[in-house]
Amino acid sequence: MVDLPQKLARKLDQRREKNAFRHLPDVNHDLIDFSSNDYLGLARSRALFRAADDFLNKTQSFGNGSTGSRLITGNHPLYVTLEKKFCEFHQSESALIFNSGYDANLGFFASVPQRGDIILYDEYIHASIRDGLSLGQGKAIKFRHNSLDDLKNKLNRERAKILENAVVYVVTESIFSMDGDSPDLKLLVDFCEVNNCYLVVDEAHAVGVFGDKGEGLVQQLNLQKRIFARIVTFGKGVGCHGAVVLTSESLKSYLINFARSFIYTTGLSPHSLATIFMAYDELDKKSKAISQLRKNIEFFKIEAERLNLSSRFINSNSAIHCFLVANIDKAKTFSLKLQEGACDVRAILSPTVPEGQERLRICLHSYNTDEEILKMLRLLSVLVS
Ligand SMILES: Cc1ncc(COP(=O)(O)O)c(C=O)c1O
């Protein structure tokens, strides 16, 4: 094979020197799952797998691939059915499906803010949003994590420079993917209304976890009518793949016309669409898995407190709980030791998080038992003692 150019090889060496070299791991299904985003167990559900198959057969929706982009030959009728279902389930005027959350954020943030517009985003925002912003024309400014005060300061500082018809966007996640914590969404919505800002909320880690049927945190707080756009991904609590932007009819039209990650890609296969459809059917029935997940989160928090571990966890009511280790080697060792004890807990290392903020990211699921949760916490307690 042709050798890697030297400057790229040097960058890989630097990663190795920092003990931060990434490689693809083997997936070991024998370990207890504390690392996947399959919060409700839908990705591993045989019933869902069969239901998607039955649905395809019943509706005669055959085809292995979609054959083209949605604007040409790939707009399978199931897309229309699904987008209608999302409008009802998520109480949205309109809905537009993308191939993934990465695509949705890339397309949205690269195309919506225009030259002269300001985007104020939480410093811990997901990489897909940052990538979209870096392709776009607006001026992106970060504010301190979950800090409304810093957001206010940043907006005030920019205000004098804002052009007459510039638009200000505020971007956050309802549940942060690394820390599992949340902004005060109610205050943020009030702030955006008073200051004429367009609020965009990524609900990737909230759907399936918050709300009566897993509709997300925005709907649990009844804020859905007051937000410019929500991004929901299906690869986490919904257990499959793809994403939807929930917004107005007019923004949907805008994205169909200008979001390049929507326009220039092959649509999802009928099987993917059927799986999403049946996963939402399960949510619609008020899946028992949601209440079981909540019980497990509660149990985990009580036991972590009892073992004196709470102070090292970032405060979270979600399925994601982060234990701060603050050292790359230690974080790797802890994760390895937990895996040796049959608990699949992964370390999140720099550069995914800033250097010195390395942590263990513990994901809870509806299918974790009390014994499993206790076992993992006890192992952790021994490691830190
Ligand atoms: C907050 C957030 N937004 C977007 C994405 C991207 O979603 P997807 O995995 O569907 O590309 C992720 C997943 O990593 C995420 O955590």
| Ligand 1 contact, 154 CB (< 6 A) | no
H or E element in which residue 9 lies: helix 6-17
How far apart are the CA of 266 and the centre of ligand 1, in A?
19
pLDDT at position 299: 98
pLDDT digits (tens, 9 = 90+) for 268-311: 999 999 999 999 999 999 889 999 999 999 999 999 999 999 99
How far apart are the CA of 297 and the centre of ligand 1, in A?
22
Q: What is the pLDDT averaged over residues 102-118? A: 97
Query: 226: pLDDT confidence band, cut at 50, 70 and 90?
Result: very high
How far apart are the CA of 129 and the centre of ligand 1, in A?
9
| Ligand 1 contact, 173 CB (< 6 A) | yes
For the domain spanning 47-284, the CATH number is 3.40.640.10
Q: Mapping DSSP to helix (H, G, I), strand (E, B) and coil, where does residue 169 land?
A: strand
| Ligand 1 contact, 203 CB (< 6 A) | no
Q: In sequence order, what DSSP letters do the residues of 148-210 get, joined into one string?
A: HHHHHHHHHHHHTT--TT--EEEEEESS-TTT-----HHHHHHHHHHTTEEEEEE-TTTTTTS
Q: Which of 102, 123, 231 to mutate to test the pocket of ligand 1 (most atoms within 8 A of CB)?
A: 102
- Say yes or no to pLDDT of 229 above 80: yes
pLDDT at position 26: 81
Ligand 1 atom at shortest distance from the alpha carbon of 175 = 1
Q: What is the pLDDT averaged over residues 363-383? A: 97
Q: Residue 25: is the preceding peptide bond cis (ω within 30°)?
A: no
- Say yes or no to pLDDT of 176 above 80: yes
pLDDT at position 165: 87
How far apart are the CA of 205 and the centre of ligand 1, in A?
8
Greatest alpha-carbon span in the chain: 60
pLDDT at position 353: 86
| Ligand 1 contact, 100 CB (< 6 A) | yes
Angle at CA of residue 347, ends 370 and 23, nearest 5°:
125
| Ligand 1 contact, 101 CB (< 6 A) | yes
Which range is least confidently modeled, 154-163, 235-244, 296-305, 313-322?
A: 154-163
- Say yes or no to pLDDT of 234 above 80: yes
Give the C-alpha separation, 181 to 382, whole Å.
26
Query: 50: pLDDT confidence band, cut at 50, 70 and 90?
Result: very high
pLDDT at position 227: 98
Q: Considering only residues 226 and 19, tell me which one the structure prediction assigns the higher pLDDT.
A: 226
- Say yes or no to pLDDT of 163 above 90: no
Q: Is 22-40+287-384 assigned to CATH 3.30.43.10?
A: no
> What is the domain partition of the chain in residue ranges?
22-40+287-384, 47-284
| Ligand 1 contact, 37 CB (< 6 A) | no
How far apart are the CA of 201 and the centre of ligand 1, in A?
12
| Ligand 1 contact, 128 CB (< 6 A) | yes
Residue 224 and residue 90 in contact, taking contact as beta carbons nearer than 8 Å? yes
Ligand 1 atom at shortest distance from the alpha carbon of 234 = 10
Neighbour count for residue 330 (Cβ, 10 Å): 15
Residue 239 and residue 48 in contact, taking contact as beta carbons nearer than 8 Å? yes
Q: In sequence order, what DSSP letters do the residues of 316-338 get, joined into one string?
A: -SSSEEEEE---HHHHHHHHHHH
Query: 19: pLDDT confidence band, cut at 50, 70 and 90?
Result: confident
Which residue's CA is the closest to the ligand 1 atom numbered 7? Answer: 101
Ligand 1 atom at shortest distance from the alpha carbon of 176 = 1
Q: Mapping DSSP to helix (H, G, I), strand (E, B) and coil, where does residue 30 land?
A: coil
pLDDT digits (tens, 9 = 90+) for 304-359: 999 999 999 999 999 999 999 988 899 999 999 999 999 999 999 888 888 898 99
pTM over 0.85: yes
Q: What is the pLDDT averaged over residues 60-77? A: 94
